[in-house]
Structure 1
Amino acid sequence: MATIEVVNVCEYEALAKEKLPKMAFDYYSSGAEDQWTLQQNRNAFQNIRFRPRILVDVSNVDISTTVLGLKISMPIMVAPAAMQKMAHPEGELATARAAAAAGTVMTLSSLATSSIEEVAATGPGIHFFQLYVFKDRNIVAQLVHRAECAGFKAIAVTADTPRLGRREADIKNRFVLPPHLTLKNFEGLDLGKMEKTNDSGLASYISSQIDRSLSWKDIRWLQTITKLPILVKGVLTAEDAKLCVEVGAAGVIVSNHGARQLDFVPATISALEEVVTAIQGRIPVFMDGGVRRGTDVLKALALGAAGIFVGRPVVYGLATDGEAGVRNVLQLLRDEFELAMSLAGCTKLSEISRSHIQIGNEKSKLSISRL
């Protein structure tokens, strides 16, 4: 059988759909309700055009950067995605190895099918831990402590999920974690199990466990139980961006949870500039949602992002070809981004600026002097 040559990350979605059971693929791919925001997360990138500079020496282009003081090879990182062993038997372990090989960050979901300790044991690599805040704060403290002890470098608190969004594909499929898999981080903890229900088993499980009373004071509480930097994930407005700075967050992630929570919120690329403007460089701003091309990464950085996280393409690559698939997803994005930078006339990330893009009907801001 001939090997299919994948030339961009978008092609992995169709390949993953062929390989995965319908329930698993629908879980990874679908959004909330009408899925308007899911479409916008991609389409909004089309509203941004480049203003490339010419005759720039791009014989040496450096795309490396630092995140929270950590050196990484590129501003492209792996977002948290739950239950990756539904996609491939090696799940999060394969993803962690691929991210380490690419020299970038892998973020482990609370709802992973591999544990914090198992991911740490994959070898050297930069790992962040995505945290849901449970009603039982002792469990939260245990998870954070385990991540810190395992050498994880940051906690990304998901702040947009006091309840799970209405994901109709999961309801139709009566989604539940396959019986041969477990949520590894919760083994030995009194968190019950995800049972089959008349709608989404995951929604019922989250509803029974996640703390709806989560508020800004809890970001301060987390800072008292760990020395790790706290990122707040799920920021879409200037108002919340400013509050993140006030409570001492180490950074924010502009995210709409892959369009899986409140439908009809803006695409993350559309919300990014508002958040960046509000924060005024006091803490770094990252973004996830809809990134499928190196040009998307360049657009996000031109709008002020310090880096982006990519989720679904990683899972689709994992489902298609395991660790090799994830490696290829990251390599494709890296190559495309480096090429886009070169063609835009940028040799390092610090040279990427708002002047390299225009949005919608914006006119180029030119000062014309008379001779």
Structure 2
Amino acid sequence: MSQRLVNLDDYEAAARSLLDEQAFEYVASGAGSETTLRANRTAFDDLELLPRMLHDVSRIDTTVELFGKIHSLPVLLAPTGYHRLMHPLGELETILGANMADCTLVAANFATETFVSVQAQAARPQWFQMYVQSDRTFTRDLLQEVLSAGCEAVCVTVDQPVNAIRDREARIGFELPKGMERANLKRLGSAVAGAAHSPQGFHIYNAVRASDLTWKDLEWLRGECPVPLMLKGILHPDDAVMAQQSGCDGIIVSNHGGRALDGVQSTIAALPAIVEAVGPGMTVLMDGGIRRGTDVVKALALGAKAVLLGRPYLFGLAVDGAAGVARVVNLLRMECQIAMGLLGCQDLSQIQPQLLHRKR
């Protein structure tokens, strides 16, 4: 079936037909009325490409250097929770697909397999997404555990200190299947590792992440983390500058895939002001709405060093396991190469703002 799926949207449609309603809606849905979820996609349509002609594109190079390491494509697999909803082997199957596609997985804090077990199967070091816990000692111990296992970079997600409103999840009564836990949090006990994804009733706080995280905690975490440290979930230029001043190595412009606060700016719209605020010395990545190679090119033209891909690789995992993950990445790779060739770009350094025109 995979050979008949010719783009990333095809994988979503195929996954919808294969997954049960709870699993599909958990991945596909967004916060509130899903205004931001839609904007993450439609904002790309407001950016038109301006090709340049008669450039030698007989060699097209998509490699990018991030924190001294070479990546074959400016695309990483974003941290996404609960992969066993998509496939019985969960993240252990995902990492095989990442290996096949020569792509880095940013392992999720809420994974259904531990970072250590997944890293043991990884062809290249993973990055790790960190939710700081109320128990800071546990947070420090978990950080040391992933670092000892070979973690290459840490991404601290900061954009959801309280629960989000997700109407579609609420309507179907989404809950984690019996026996499914957050493997990285097991040492906190079953009350946390197996806690409800969204507590019932009128609760805005959740046992699985701290709501009291501040810039002071970030300074503490910076001191505990010898590898590159990034903040994920930045939309305001002032926060980007504060991250820079706090010693962070990079930021990920993100609105949680439209899953946190509805009505916020799309990430591609927020990106230019953040890039301008921090200047060239800060590594800026972004996620949200990436579905085509042209989306990757547009993000790079606006100053992102690379992008993170979320929902599409989960749909690939659901459709065809590791092979589906790899094919989703390789479809995006081919589309990036084609877009670069038709724009007249031999390598990523030639993707500049002058190749874009904003419709409105």
Normalising by the smaller structure, the TM-score range is over 0.9
**Deviation readout 1:14-38 (Å, 9 max, x if unpaired):** 1111111111111111000010000
CA shift for structure 1 position 104: 2.2
- Secondary structure of 1:271's match? helix
Mapping 1:168-179, distance limit 5 Å: 168-179=167-178
Tell me the C-alpha RMSD between the 2 structures: 1.8
TM-score, scaled to structure 1: 0.93
What are the superposed Cα offsets for residues 246-289 of structure 1, whole Å, 9 maximum, x if unpaired? 00111000000000111111110110101111111121100000
Q: Deviations over 1:261-318 (max 9, x none)?
A: 1111111011010111111112110000000000000000000000000000010100
Question: Would you say 1:322 and 2:303 are equivalent positions?
Answer: no
Decide which structure has the larger Cα Rg and report it: 1
Matches within 5 A, 1:160-175: 160-175=159-174
Q: After TM superposition, give the deviation of residue 122 of structure 1 in Å.
A: 0.6
1:176, 1:200 within 8 Å by CA — same for their partners in 2? no
In the other structure, the counterpart of 2:212 is 213
Closer/same/farther in 2, CA of residues 80 and 179 from structure 1, 3 Å limit = same
Q: Distance in 2 between matches of 1:80 and 1:244?
A: 20
On the 8 A contact 2:36/2:263 being kept in 1, the answer is yes
Q: TM-score, normalised by structure 2?
A: 0.96
Q: CA deviation at 1:324?
A: 0.6
Partner of 2:109: 110
In structure 2, what residue type is equivalent to 1:115?
T
Counterparts in 2 of 1:217-236, with a 5 A limit?
217-236=216-235
Q: CA deviation at 1:101?
A: 2.4
Deviation at 1:204, TM superposition (A): 6.3
CA drift of 1:126 comes to 2.8
Shift of 1:208: 2.5
Measure the CA separation in 2 of the matches of 1:344 and 1:178. 47
Contact 2:195–2:208 (Cα < 8 Å) also in 1: no
Aligned to 1:62, the other structure's residue is in SS state coil
**Which residue identity does 1:138 align to in structure 2?**
T
Q: Does 1:245 align with 2:210?
A: no
Give, as a single letter, the amino acid of the residue that structure 2 aligns with 1:57.
Answer: D
Distance 1:34 1:126 in 2: 37
Percent identity at matched positions?
38
Q: Match of 2:60?
A: 61
In structure 2, the residue matched to 1:74 is 73
Report how far residue 3 of structure 1 moved: 6.2
Give the deviation of 1:201 after TM superposition: 5.9
Secondary structure at the counterpart of residue 233 of structure 1: strand
Partner residue in 2 for 1:286 = 285
Deviation digits for residues 106-165 of structure 1 (CA, Å, limit 9, x no counterpart): 011100001011111113223010011110001111111111011010110001010121
Q: Which residue of 2 aligns with 1:89?
A: 88
Q: Distance in 2 between matches of 1:159 and 1:87?
A: 26
Which ranges in structure 2 are unaligned for 5 or more consecutive residues?
A: none
What residue is the counterpart of 1:50 in the other structure?
A: 49
CA distance in structure 1 between the aligned counterparts of 2:25 and 2:9, rounded to whole angstroms: 16
Note the 1:1-371 alignment, pairs <5 A: 5-190=4-189, 192-193=191-192, 194-195=194-195, 200=199, 207-361=206-360
Residues 163, 204 of structure 2: 8 Å contact kept: no
| Structure 1 residues 57-100: Cα deviation after superposition (integer angstroms, max 9, x where no partner) | 00001101111111110101100000001100121122222222
C-alpha distance in structure 1 between counterparts of 2:203 and 2:317, whole Å: 27
Conserved? CA contact 2:119–2:125, under 8 Å: no
Q: Relative to 1, partners in 2 of residues 1:3 and 1:123: Cα closer, same or farther, differing over 3 Å?
A: closer
Residue ranges of structure 1 left out of the alignment (5+ in a row): 362-371
Secondary structure of the 2:127 match is strand
Following the alignment from structure 2 to structure 1, what is the Cα–Cα distance between the partners of residues 312 and 22?
18
Structure 2 CA distance for partners of 1:234 and 1:348, relative to 1, 3 Å: same
- The aligned amino acid for 2:281 is R
CA contact (8 A) 1:96 1:125 kept: no
SS in 2 for 1:105: coil
Against the structure 1 CA distance between its residues 202 and 322, is the aligned structure 2 distance closer, same or farther, given a 3 Å change threshold? Answer: farther
How many aligned residue pairs are there?
A: 359
Q: In structure 2, give the amino acid aligned to 1:23.
A: Q
What code does the residue aligned with 2:151 have?
F
Name the structure 2 match of 1:369.
none
Per the TM alignment, residue 207 of structure 1 is displaced from its structure 2 partner at its CA by: 1.2
CA gap 1:202/1:158 in 2 versus in 1, 3 angstroms = farther
Change (3 A) 1:196 1:141: closer
Native 8 Å contact 2:230 2:252 kept in 1: yes
1-structure distance, mates of 2:108, 2:208: 15
Partners of 1:51 and 1:258 lie apart in 2 by 28
- Partners of 1:25 and 1:9 lie apart in 2 by 15
